[in-house]
Amino acid sequence: MELSDLDERISGDVVAPGDEAWGAARQAWNLAADQRPVAVVYPESADDVVATVRFATEHRLRIAFNAGGHNAGPIDWSGDTLLLKTERMTGIEIDPAAGTARIEAGVLAGDLAAAAGAHGLAFLSGTSPNVGVVGYALGGGLSWLAREHGLACNTILAADVVTADGEPRRIDRDHEPDLFWAIRGGGGNVAAITALELRLFPITSVFAGALFWPIERAAEILEAWRTWHPSLPTTVESLGRLLQLPDVPVLPDAVRGRSFVLVEAACLGPSAEAEALLQPLRDLGPEMDTFRSMPPSQLGEVNMDPEMPVPYAGDGLLLADVPAGAVDALVDAFVGSSLLHVEVRHLGGALSVPGDEHGVLDAIPDPYVLFTFGMTPDAAVHAAVVRDVGRVLAAIGPWASGRRYLNFAEVGVDARTIFPAASYERLLRVKATYDPMDRFHANHPVGRTHPTASV
């Protein structure tokens, strides 16, 4: 195999082991992910992706993807694999009249949110502005507006893809409907995405922010959140969170080296109504209160997710319930651990409503999802973080639903825990039809057991 052949066929670049750029090229956003492809390809167009897929077929190579690179940790590098980094494919077109966006495969969520916001429109973005729209939306997409508007994957209206036979196709409900169904929640298992068209929402203002209390009040505040949110309308999305911040100079003085319990929320509708809903929590005397009216394009600031690539390890679980005992178990397992963050997000509302028009991730019936992680600057800390992630998941285990949310699975999992059995079987049939040689190597593969899979 001559990688220079591929380099000549594309307008983008190919970086191979031994090249000066190799170290940076194989890095993901999660700096702890040890990506070991045979080469990294930077396509600049759909034609480049077509050429790469054909080259991979000729040389029996697998293909893996980094869009934003936030879920690269679980990719299995045991076979010869080309890594497609789509970061140069950053085109965004907004159609204000139709209320839609067309994005190329490397666009980040914050950039789409800003472009949509310039037209008074909102993309269903999650807490982090620097996840890739494609990775986030193909894996489900839990946004700050999710209880009202459902999963981001089900706002995909059409996609430009390259299938394993090297053919570019435009897919939607009327063209290759099975393939179109499979990309909406099924991750990167069935085709290479070169562009997505997404529905946007005419929203110009959201009342959102975070309340901070010292972590010593963790059990009391999480209990208050737990009893506060069930009666809220679907226009409110909220989460309870514990945060143990390191003593590092990049953090502001007010929070550096300190630990907090937080409640974060985003509320659609008039801010006076949101303020009234929030009052019972404000009555508990938070030390800091960042709630304000903001355009949806600023929702990426609420959770203060890291802005730059970081080394970390984490994982998540869907929960069937969060009773008082679960709060106590979570606080006991997390406080004083090596972990930075644990959150429990309230789901329900539109997320739990199936729809005939939806994709493979039709709905999430579980009422909560948990996600936890810690920074892993070196091997010793990494081992401690992995141990403590396991302890948190074990502590909350009695309330786990047994299902996983693909985007929050940061380790290899059995994909049958992500989808209902009938959906999983249909996804396997789509995979067998469009990618029978398993060319596309998703971080969470279907039809093949991940080498490190655990439930």
Ligand X SMILES: Cc1cc2nc3c(=O)[nH]c(=O)nc-3n(C[C@H](O)[C@H](O)[C@H](O)COP(=O)(O)OP(=O)(O)OC[C@H]3O[C@@H](n4cnc5c(N)ncnc54)[C@H](O)[C@@H]3O)c2cc1C
- Does the protein bind ligand X through residue 187 (CB under 6 A)? yes
Q: For ligand X, which is the closer residue by CB, 62 or 329? A: 62
Q: Are 117 and 71 in contact (CB under 8 A)?
A: no
Q: For ligand X, which is the closer residue by CB, 71 or 372? A: 71
Written as one letter, the residue type at 109 is A
Binds ligand X by CB under 6 A, chosen from 37, 135, 186, 412: 135
- Does the protein bind ligand X through residue 359 (CB under 6 A)? no
Written as one letter, the residue type at 60 is R
270 strand-pairing partners: none
How far is residue 135's CA from residue 156's CA, in Å, rounded to a whole number? 13
Q: Is 254 helix (H, G, I), strand (E, B) or coil?
A: coil
| Min CB(117)–ligand X separation in Å | 17
Strand positions, DSSP E, 354-394: 368-375
The distance from CA 24 to its chain's CA centroid, rounded to whole angstroms, is 22
Q: For ligand X, which is the closer residue by CB, 183 or 329? A: 183
The residue behind tokens 């934003």 is: 68
| Min CB(216)–ligand X separation in Å | 26
- Does the protein bind ligand X through residue 53 (CB under 6 A)? no
Which 231-290 residues touch ligand X, going by CB under 6 A? none
How far is residue 26's CA from residue 42's CA, in Å, rounded to a whole number? 11
Q: For ligand X, which is the closer residue by CB, 50 or 329? A: 50
| Min CB(325)–ligand X separation in Å | 26
C-beta neighbour count of 421 within 10 angstroms: 8
Binds ligand X by CB under 6 A, chosen from 35, 186, 443, 450: 443
Choices 68-76, 196-204, 284-292, 412-420; region in contact with ligand X by CB under 6 A:
68-76
Q: Are 186 and 139 in contact (CB under 8 A)?
A: no
Choices 1-9, 13-21, 185-193, 427-435; region in contact with ligand X by CB under 6 A:
185-193
| Min CB(424)–ligand X separation in Å | 16
DSSP 172: S
Strands 92-95 and 156-162, sheet pairing: unpaired
Binding characters for ligand X, 101-120, by CB under 6 A (x = yes): ----x---------------
- Does the protein bind ligand X through residue 145 (CB under 6 A)? no
| CA-closest candidate to residue 239, choices 285, 292, 302, 287 | 302
The residue behind tokens 């936890």 is: 372
- Does the protein bind ligand X through residue 376 (CB under 6 A)? no
Q: For ligand X, which is the closer residue by CB, 329 or 392? A: 392
Binds ligand X by CB under 6 A, chosen from 110, 117, 139, 296: 139
Q: For ligand X, which is the closer residue by CB, 28 or 327? A: 28
C-beta neighbour count of 449 within 10 angstroms: 12
| Min CB(259)–ligand X separation in Å | 19
Q: For ligand X, which is the closer residue by CB, 105 or 326? A: 105
Binds ligand X by CB under 6 A, chosen from 193, 265, 326, 411: 193
How far is residue 41's CA from residue 50's CA, in Å, rounded to a whole number? 12
Helices and strands (H and E) in the chain: how many: 12, 17
Binds ligand X by CB under 6 A, chosen from 110, 117, 141, 349: 141
Residues 6+ apart with CB under 8 A from 157: 100, 172, 197, 198, 199
Written as one letter, the residue type at 370 is L
How far is residue 6's CA from residue 12's CA, in Å, rounded to a whole number? 10
Q: Are 18 and 3 in contact (CB under 8 A)?
A: no
Binds ligand X by CB under 6 A, chosen from 305, 328, 332, 414: 305
Binds ligand X by CB under 6 A, chosen from 26, 35, 48, 65: 65
| Min CB(353)–ligand X separation in Å | 17
Binds ligand X by CB under 6 A, chosen from 12, 110, 117, 126: 126
Find the helix or strand (DSSP H, E) in which 343 lies. Answer: strand 341-346
Residues near ligand X, by CB under 6 A: 65-72, 75, 86, 105, 126-128, 131-132, 134-136, 138-142, 187-188, 192-193, 305, 407, 442-443
